[in-house]
Amino acid sequence: MEIQIDIDDKIPLFTQVMEQIKHAVISGELAAGYALPSIRQLANDLDINNKTVAKAYRLLERDNIIQTKGYRGTFIHPGAVENCTTDLNAWVSTELTKTITTFRNADVTDSEIRIAFADVMTRNNTSGRNTRQPETKGN
């Protein structure tokens, strides 16, 4: 896995590291048990401060995306996909709620909102992007 950061981006560097690791987990690029580079190694590779990577790892560990096993290293947590998906679903729900509220405040009806969302989703699906199927429990 290759992590790339943009030091000119307004998004904090630790967040960029976290989001790329989460994306790699969700996409299947990083599976449970995959060994991540050490904090020092990743910081060196990205040419950023060790504390930045340490913060990203600490927050990912708090969210059960990664786990540190003493001096053996840092690995993708067995429940990482489910934990990332839960986080993703919460974020999507929050963003959709904000958008729907904005539309309602502009007197757009729920029916018009549904039609607009369906139209946008149809157009985006035909591009072949973002066609990941949601995971269901019990499968």
Task: For residues 54 and 20, state if they share a domain.
Answer: yes
Looking at the structure, do residues 41 and 53 belong to the same domain, yes or no? yes
What pLDDT is stored for residue 134 in this prediction? 44
Specify the number of domains making up the chain.
2
Same domain, 22 and 48: yes
Same domain, 90 and 59: no
| Calpha distance 55→29 (Å, rounded) | 22
At 135 the pLDDT is: 45
Residue 85 has pLDDT above 80, yes or no: no
pLDDT digits (tens, 9 = 90+) for 8-38: 999 999 999 999 999 899 888 999 999 999 9
Tell me the residue range of the domain where 32 lies. 13-79
Which is more confident, 93 or 121?
121
Distance CA 109, CA 112 (A): 5
| Per-residue pLDDT reduced to its tens digit, 32-52 | 999 999 999 999 999 999 999
**Residue range 94-110: average pLDDT?**
90
Same domain as 72, residue 36: yes
Confidence of residue 137 (pLDDT cuts 50, 70, 90): very low
Torsion angle in degrees (nearest 10) through CA of 124, 110, 90, 17: 40
Write down the pLDDT at residue 139: 42
- Is the backbone of residue 98 left (phi > 0), alpha (psi -120 to 50) or beta? alpha
User: Among 45, 43, 71, which Cα is nearest to 57's?
Assistant: 43
- Residue 36's CATH number: 1.10.10.10
Q: What is the pLDDT at residue 83?
A: 83
Residue-level pLDDT at 125: 76
The pLDDT value given to residue 87 = 66
Paired tokens of 56: 């990203």
The pLDDT of residue 66 is above 80 = yes
Residues 6+ apart with CB under 8 A from 85: 26, 134, 135
